[in-house]
Structure 1
């Protein structure tokens, strides 16, 4: 296969704490893009992989979903976790979500929820998003002039939206929040349930148990919500397995919440750090659509996905052997100098904005329209009311190689 290109900077992509130091991470990625855009990574605890850091290469790989598959390694986890999750799935008790699947099963499963995220459904949800945005901005007024925006506002607003869509009782919201944070915070000492693979599997089992009970209830007593649609869905005339139903709920409840909360918290931080752009948005509310896209680009809540080559191939002239995995660094793609002018600048009017935060191709995020609408509703309510806003302490980011962002954002503010 020839000499492998290995660059030490690429090893940061396999170190969760790297994502808590964005300046250092972006310096490393800015080095990799021109010098080692396809770099072989051998990191302690992980199986080796190729780090892909250029926007164009990531799009090419995403287009070739038959050549580069999600199975058996859809995201970067330590080898022990890879093996444990695989064993659970083979035993029929693990979770296999849309991000784990390839066509045709992926296509069939995706269809089940697709109608709930189309424009007609989004219009129906718009009023609920607007109502909740008013409620949470109102809470900021009630709380006075200081708040940990990430934990008290950004986490809760999208949770209420997505769990309302699922039709879950409000009494279960705190439980879902805790499980979601434990699921995506498995590498973060503050958010994780524990540091072992068994702890992570226990979180997955708790999800499975909760939603298995919910499925039985919705099959016996169908309702007009997404949970019931999933519970009563069929493929080729057969109901979904317990693993498929639970997995579907988990990807909607967790990914549909945690990514959006990261986008909202990170988006506000960009406005605080760039007061001229905040004033520009206040003076021209028509920029809200492009502002939200720029927040999503800069935050990039989903840091990476993995794909595995099903045949010998190459990327940017670098040979990739059958069975080898590639890591698609969306964080890097969204700062690619060949695609974005002045990529480190936050620009509420950036257009075009070809970010890859929602992925690309057949695995493009099912809930992208909902995430955009939630963020638009929230900032449409908040931005015009801001008189003054500044940091009241240092923001803290979560340690992760998958999904995450700002976990603490203390701010001082004055609202109209």
Structure 2
């Protein structure tokens, strides 16, 4: 395809769509995506300013992102990075792994037929029938989280008190990580997904350059690997019913998982399994804290809760994008795409597409249908989507039982991150029931 045929973004917009700060300034970001969906829904993004990265196609319309998500033969998770990365980060990953752009090998990075073989190892564990067996345990964790909130004496940061530690505790219990190791897991997760946000990457440095952030993430990966190597040895010697035992003793094509794939499996469950639910949970509470009437209604009628949970997941969109690589010459939204081109499926833009969601910036608990893309679609749809919904439903059942009123006690703040994002602070004022 001739270079002149590409619909290019202007430098300022190109910078905005890859700048972590843009994702902290939510309304401005949505304004940008509204304009792009209308003018250039499939746009070529080249490096701007000092942000050196491989060029890629930005895809912003719901229908296009849905089609790409389902067409796993044309749009591959390999060989290029599945997450937007600067060139320095890509080269660092290749040096660290011996050639792969993926610092972690996991379900997220595998294509068919490998992906489904690995997915099947734990897929049954995360189905609703099996999850019913851990509901009581999750409810106990939810009550402990609300205990922490109420201990704040009527005011607290909901993220620090509840939405960060609660899903972490749930997924660590499922995985088999002892409670005393959870703070370490939280720190490592924030280092991996905190991006350039000085409050989340736990670096102690306010303005990390991109290469320092990359090395920080690499260090977190190594720490994860060391931790789970020890856990693997324990579960092979003394298997239990937890997910760690399933992974440690898994066999694919007659062979045990190799170390890199096994560690990637642990990491994707430990890290992605809590940060995303934390973001959606905080988003739901923000919407309810801003609407006292809705809080009162759902306290009286719990049948409204599933709609609140689902809308919070769409409205927040914790996983903000994934990248794909074109396996062949193709087209997206009428734009010619060449074999080998890198593409960004932007879920924030897709989940706020007015062609699919009426008044998409409004939190609408009664929105139906609500077929959002926050969990992806097709073969790579989120493995833990049933767990995420269950965790949120149980937590809000407990919150609604134990809290009479809730309102904002300050201005919430979003994280600076292009990949996994959401609220990093949510100050609340509340009264106990």
TM-score bracket, normalised by the shorter chain, equals: over 0.9
Superposition pairs of residues 14-413 of structure 1, within 5 angstroms: 14-43=18-47, 44-71=51-78, 72-90=80-98, 94-194=103-203, 195=208, 196=212, 197-413=214-430
Question: Is the 2:405–2:432 Cα contact (8 Å) retained in structure 1?
Answer: yes
- In the aligned structure 2, how far is the partner of 1:140 from the partner of 1:152? 6
Tell me how far apart the structure 2 counterparts of residues 150 and 105 of structure 1 sit (CA, whole Å): 37
State the secondary structure of the residue aligned to 2:343.
strand
CA distance in 1, matches of 2:367, 2:264: 36
What secondary structure sits across from 2:17 in the alignment? helix
Look up the SS of the partner of 1:106 in the other structure.
Answer: helix
8 A contact 1:266–1:299 mirrored in 2: yes
Q: Report if the CA contact (8 A) 1:193-1:200 is conserved.
A: no
Shift of 1:267: 1.3
Which residue of 6, 9, 16 corresponds with 1:7? 9
Greater Cα shift, 155-164 or 2-11? 2-11
Q: Alpha-carbon deviation of 1:365?
A: 0.1
Residues 108-149 of structure 1: CA deviation (Å, up to 9, x unaligned): 111111111012211012111222112222222232101111
Q: 178-187 or 278-287, which moves further after superposition?
A: 278-287
* CA apart distance, 1:255: 0.4
Q: Would the alpha carbon gap of residues 36 and 271 (structure 1) be closer, same or farther in structure 2, given more than 3 Å must change?
A: same
Determine if contact 2:309/2:389 at 8 Å carries over to the other structure. Answer: yes
In the aligned structure 2, how far is the partner of 1:366 from the partner of 1:89?
25
Asked if 2 retains the 8 angstrom alpha-carbon contact of 1:40 and 1:50, the reply is yes
Given that 1:302 and 1:330 are in contact with CA atoms closer than 8 Å, whether structure 2 keeps it comes out as yes
- The alpha carbon displacement at 1:346 in A equals 0.7
Distance (whole Å) between structure 2 residues aligned to residue 76 and residue 260 of structure 1: 21
Q: Distance in 2 between matches of 1:347 and 1:281?
A: 13
1:250-304 superposed Cα distances (whole Å, 9 cap, x missing partner)? 0001100110111111211111123333233223210111110000011100000
State the TM-score, normalizing by the size of structure 2: 0.93
Comparing 366-375 and 312-321, the one that deviates more = 312-321
| Post-superposition CA distance 1:354-393 (Å, at most 9, x none) | 1100000000000000000000001111134433322222
State whether residues 193 and 199 of structure 1, in contact with CA within 8 Å, keep that contact through their aligned partners in structure 2.
no
Q: Which runs of 5+ in 1 are unaligned?
A: none
- Superposition deviation, residue 233 in structure 1: 0.1
Residues 9-54 of structure 1, C-alpha deviations (whole Å, 9 max, x = no match): 3542211111110110011111111111001111322211111000
1:306 shift after superposition:
0.3
Deviates more, 1:171-180 or 1:217-226: 217-226
Computed over aligned residues only, the root mean square deviation of the Cα atoms, in angstroms, reads 1.6
CA–CA distance in 2 between the matches of 1:223 and 1:255?
23
Q: Is the 8 A contact 2:190 2:201 kept in 1?
A: yes
Report how many residues are paired.
Answer: 416
In the TM superposition, residue 91 of structure 1 has moved relative to its aligned partner by 6.9
The C-alpha deviation readout for 1:281-333, integer Å capped at 9, x for no partner, is 22321011111000001110000000000111111111111111110110011
